[in-house]
Structure 1
Amino acid sequence: MPRPRQPRHPQRRKRTTDPAAAKRFAATVSYDGTDFVGSQVQPNGRTVQEELERAAERLFGTPTRVDLAGRTDSGVHARGQVAAFTAATRLEAAAIGRALNALLPEDVAVRAVREVPPGFDPRRWARRRRYRYTIANGEARDPLARRYAWHLEGNLDLPAMQHLAGAFAGRRDYSAFAGKLEPGRSPVRTVFETTVNRSGDWLYIDIEADAFLPQMVRRITAALVRVGRHAATEEEIVSLLHQARPGSFIHVAPARGLCLERVWYDEGYQP
C-alpha cells in the first residue's frame, strides 16, 4: 500500500545580509596633551592618533586609520582637533560617538561625530585654524593651572604686546618663527589675525591662520612675551620676521599653554 504523501513545506530562503557599505565620518576631538608625546603616531610614546585608532578598531572589529586635521606637539592640548575615519558600519554617527567615548581613555573625547563625503581629508580640506595660548600672570602660581598655562610673574606691557601682534598678520614667509621644516615644505602661511587680551590675571593670545609651521604659535608667543617684558623691541622682532632666516628667533614658549581651539571647513564638515 503506498505511503501517504507528506505535505510539502515551502523551502525557507536563507536570510542574506549584505555587508554594510563603508562610510566616512568626521569628529571633533578634545584632549589633554600632558601625557602624550604628540598627536600623530610615533614610535617613542603614547599619541592621540594611536588612542583613537585603538578605540575604533575595538568598535568596528578591524584596523581603522584615523586622520587628523593638524599635528600638535608633546604637551599641547586641543578642544577642536578634527579626526576622520572610514568604517563599514550600520551605526549612526551619534551612536559611534557614544561608543568611542566609552572606549577612549579619560584624557581624550570625541564630539559632533558626523558622516562626511567619502573623500573628506581633515587636513587638506581645512581652510582656517585657531590656536589659543594661555598665560597666568598673577603674583602667585596657580597649581590648578600648571598643566594648561604658562605662569609668568611681573608686569607685562599689554599695549606693546597688542601692537606687535598686528605685525604678524598677513601672508609671508614665517621661517624665522618656526622649528625645522621637512624638505620641500613651504614656509609661507597666511595669518588672518593675532590678538592679545587680558582678563584678570589671565592673558590669552589667539592666532588664526590657514595653517601653521612647527612651533610657530609658541615662538610668536615667546616674541610677544619678550616685548611685553621689554627684553626685546618691536623693531627687533619685526626685523627678524621680514628677514625670514630659518629658526632665527630661538625662544619657544612652553607647550602646556597651547591649545588647538577650532578648525574651519568650507565644505564637508562643520564642527
Structure 2
Amino acid sequence: LEYEGTAYRGSQVQQGLPTIQGELARALYQLTGERPRLSFAGRTDAGAHAWGQVASAVLASPLARERLVAGLNHYLPESIAVREACWAARDFDVRRSPARRCYRYTIVNTAQRSPLWRGRAYHVAETLDAGAMDVAIRSQVGRRDVGPFVRMAGLGGRSTLRTIYRARAWRDGNLVQVELEGDAFLPQQVRRTVGTLIQVGKGRLSAEEFGALAEGRGPGRAGPVAPACGLYLMRVEYRDPSQSGC
C-alpha cells in the first residue's frame, strides 16, 4: 500500500474516525462483499504516510491479483493506492513475519516554508548540519534499549530492546532525510529520535550528547517529538519472501 496520510487518524481502525484500515476495509467490502479481518505490517501515526505498507486479509473470493488491485483502487480514495497484491501462505503473519522495517523522515530545510510540501514534510527554517546528524544517528546501529526515545505509556510490558540495522541522515538539496531500518519499532520511537537529532543539526547537542541521551545518561530527556507529517513507512522486508507468493 502507498498512502498520503494527512487526512487520516492513523493506519489502525478507530470507530467513527477516518483511517487507512477503515478505508481499505470499506473498499474490500464493496469489491467482494466480505468483511475480513485486516492486519498491517506496521502502524503509522495520524498524519504519517507510507510508500510500502503491507496489509493482509483472508478472502474467500477467488479474485485474480490484477483484478484485486484494480478493484480496490477503484473504490479507494485517491490518497490511498494498492501497488501490488499476492496470495500468501496460510501461516503468513504480516506483523510477526517481517525481518526489517524501514522508516524515513523528511525535513524541508529552507528559510521560508514550502506550501508544496505542506503535510508531507516538517519545515525547519534554521540551517541543519546534516553531516553532524549523520554521525550522531549512525551511533544507534546495533541491539539496544530504545526506551529513551519511546512513549512508555501503553507499551503493555513490551520490551524496549530493538535492533537497528541501518541509520543515516543526509542532505538532498533543500531536504534533509533521516532513515532508520530495524527489526521493529515502538510508539514515537522514530519521531522522538528525529526530534532529538534535529537539535544536533542545529548545534544545540553534540553527537556525544545525543548518544548519552539515547542511553539515558544525558541531562534531561530525549525529544521533542517531531511532527508526524514528515514520517514515511518506506518498506517492509520478510524473512521468507516465498511465503507471500510475490
- TM-score of the superposition, structure 2-length normalised? 0.93
Q: Are the aligned partners of 2:97 and 2:238 in contact in 1 as well (CA < 8 Å)?
A: yes
Please say if 1:79 is aligned against 2:51: yes
Q: Structure 1, residues 216-265: CA drift from partner, whole Å, max 9, x if none? A: 111111111101101222222211222389x9323111110010000001
- 1:104 corresponding residue in structure 2: 76
More strand, by proportion: 1
Structure 2 residue 42 is matched with structure 1 residue 42: no
Quote the RMSD (CA, aligned, Å). Answer: 1.7
Aligned to 1:151, which of 105, 123, 129? 123
Instruction: Please say if residues 174 and 244 of structure 1, whose CA atoms lie closer than 8 Å, have aligned partners that are also in contact.
Output: no
1:266 is matched with which residue? 239
Return the alpha-carbon distance in structure 2 between the equivalents of residues 188 and 242 of structure 1: 12
Alpha-carbon distance between aligned partners in 2 of 1:204 and 1:249, rounded to the nearest angstrom:
19
Deviates more, 1:130-139 or 1:177-186: 177-186
Whether the aligned pair in 1 keeps the contact of 2:10 and 2:44 (CA below 8 Å) is yes
Whether the 8 Å CA contact 2:110–2:127 is kept in 1: the answer is: no
Q: Separation in 1 of the partners of 2:63 and 2:15? A: 32
TM-score (norm 1): 0.85
Cα separation, 1, equivalents of 2:166 and 2:62: 42
Rg: which structure is higher? 1
Distance 1:155 1:47, change over 3 A: same
Q: Could you say which residue in structure 2 is the equivalent of 1:185?
A: 158
Deviation by residue 1:197-222 (Cα, 9 ceiling, x = unmatched) = 11111111111001101111111111
Gaps of 5+ in 1: 1-28
Q: Name the residue aligned to 2:64.
A: 92
Superposition deviation, residue 165 in structure 1: 1.1
Consecutive unaligned residues of structure 2, counting only runs of 5 or more, are: none
Distance 2:114 2:235 in 1: 26
CA distance in 2, matches of 1:248, 1:86: 43
Following superposition, the deviation at residue 270 of structure 1 comes to 7.5
Q: Match of 1:171?
A: 143
**Match for residue 4 of structure 2 among 7, 16, 32:** 32
Matched, 1:237 2:197: no
Aligned to 2:221: 248
**Structure 1 residue 66 and structure 2 residue 38: aligned?**
yes
Cα displacement string for residues 28-81 of structure 1 (whole angstroms, at most 9, x for unaligned residues): x11111011110012362111111111111222121211100111100000100
2:28: which partner in 1?
A: 56
Aligned counterparts, 1:8-19, within 5 A: none
Cα distance in 2 for partners of 1:62, 1:37 equals 24
Matched residue of 2:224: which SS? coil
Task: Describe the superposition over 1:88-137 as per-residue Cα deviations: whole angstroms up to 9, x where unpaired.
Answer: 12211111111111111111111210111012111100110111111111
C-alpha distance in 1 between matches for 2:15 and 2:213: 35
Q: Does the 8 Å contact 2:103/2:233 carry over to 1? A: yes
Q: Share of identical aligned residues, percent?
A: 41
Aligned to 2:90: 118
Q: How far, CA to CA, are the matches of 1:244 and 1:51 in structure 2? A: 43
How many residues are paired up?
A: 242
Amino acid at match of 1:80: G
